[in-house]
Amino acid sequence: MTIEIDRRGGSGYRGFVEHDSTRLAARGRTIVVASWIGIVGNGVLAILKTVAGFVSGSAAVLSDGIDSGLDVLTSGITLVAARITSKPPDINHPYGHSRAETIATKSLSFVIFFAGSQLAFTTLGQLLRGETRALPGNVALWVTGVSIVGKIGLALHKHMVGRSVNSPMLVADAKNMRADIGISMGVLVGLVLTVQLDTPVLDSVVALLISVWIMFVAFRIFLQTNTELMEGYHDEEAYRQIFDAIDCVAGAEHPHRTRIRSVGAMQIVDLDIEVDGELTVREAHEIAQRAERAIKAAVENVYDVLVHVEPIGNVEGSERYGVSRRALDDARTSGDGCTD
């Protein structure tokens, strides 16, 4: 993606490539539609399970309903984030607004964890106080079965859409829904055992287990967003694709100090290459342009490539950060971090 600086005005932006603008807008619309489907679907399930939980007296079904209510909230957050990420770059956000997805995903983890902890404290208190509970009614069984079918459909849809548009936010939401399927199945098994064994306390035990699982899912989502926020990148294959691409560029030697960082669904690549020191600036610039095009052709979802040109054999002691092919191979052998 290219942003042109209007030098006549000093710092204004003319815009960015029309193709990329259209693609970003289409991606945003796709995420918005998926979010609305999640809001409606989870809203219906949340209402059904919450009402069924109250009517049947099942704490497990009620907690499952609360969890689906949280999914409505998470889909709402993804909806807002999608509208923000679809905005084009501007003078204050030259890299665009894609980090809104990461922030939204991080926010989801806090919301999910808080709900799970509140549910855990409530259920644990009931167990410790030894409160007597009635056996759940049959309506709880039917509603839980419907919930499982509905959640499977929603999770598959969000995961498919998230992968197709490379949205970590939708993929995280889909993982949360897959966890909900396991929760609902656990609720169903717990209800059957509760009724068959005539032991209402099992319903509360299932509710407590659900709360623990909710907190675990939240913690896992929290950790997954740390990589992007810490400017990390774990896909070694992308680095190898970059080095292989440079190998095919005549005149470009020793790619090093290579760094990849994510901005939402896109990647920014920085690297140094060495060229013949006797070349003119124009000739070296043409090699750098070919290197940029080769990288964009080899690596998916590249937002921008920044190529620094050095004469062959140049050594700079201050170059501490980045990845080279040698460092990548050494890291694979030793398990250490990749630096050059």
Give the whole-angstrom CA distance, residue 95 versus residue 89. Answer: 6
pLDDT (0 to 100) of residue 251: 93
Quick one: three-class SS letters along 109-136? Answer: HHHHHHHHHHHHHHHHHHHHHCCCCCCC
Q: Would you kindly state where each structural domain of the chain is located, as residue ranges? A: 3-229, 236-334
* pLDDT digits 0-9 by tens, 51-105: 887 777 776 677 777 777 777 877 777 777 777 777 777 788 777 777 777 787 7
* pLDDT digits 0-9 by tens, 245-259: 999 999 999 999 898
**Crossing angle for the helix pair 18-56 and 168-197, to the nearest 10 degrees:** 10
Give the whole-angstrom CA distance, residue 259 versus residue 84. Answer: 26
* CATH architecture designation of domain 236-334: 2-Layer Sandwich (3.30)
Confidence of residue 136 (pLDDT cuts 50, 70, 90): low
Fold entry, domain 3-229: Alpha-lytic protease prodomain-like (1.20.1510)
* pLDDT digits 0-9 by tens, 279-294: 999 999 999 999 999 9
**Crossing angle for the helix pair 138-164 and 168-197, to the nearest 10 degrees:** 160
* pLDDT digits 0-9 by tens, 306-324: 999 999 988 776 666 778 7
* pLDDT digits 0-9 by tens, 186-228: 777 777 777 677 766 776 777 778 778 778 878 887 887 777 7
pLDDT above 70 for 24: no
Q: Is 168 helix (H, G, I), strand (E, B) or coil?
A: helix
Residue 21 φ/ψ, nearest 5 degrees: -65, -45
Confidence of residue 16 (pLDDT cuts 50, 70, 90): very low
Those residues whose C-beta lies under 8 Å from the C-beta of residue 293, and which sit 6 or more positions away, are: none
Give the whole-angstrom CA distance, residue 218 versus residue 116. Answer: 9
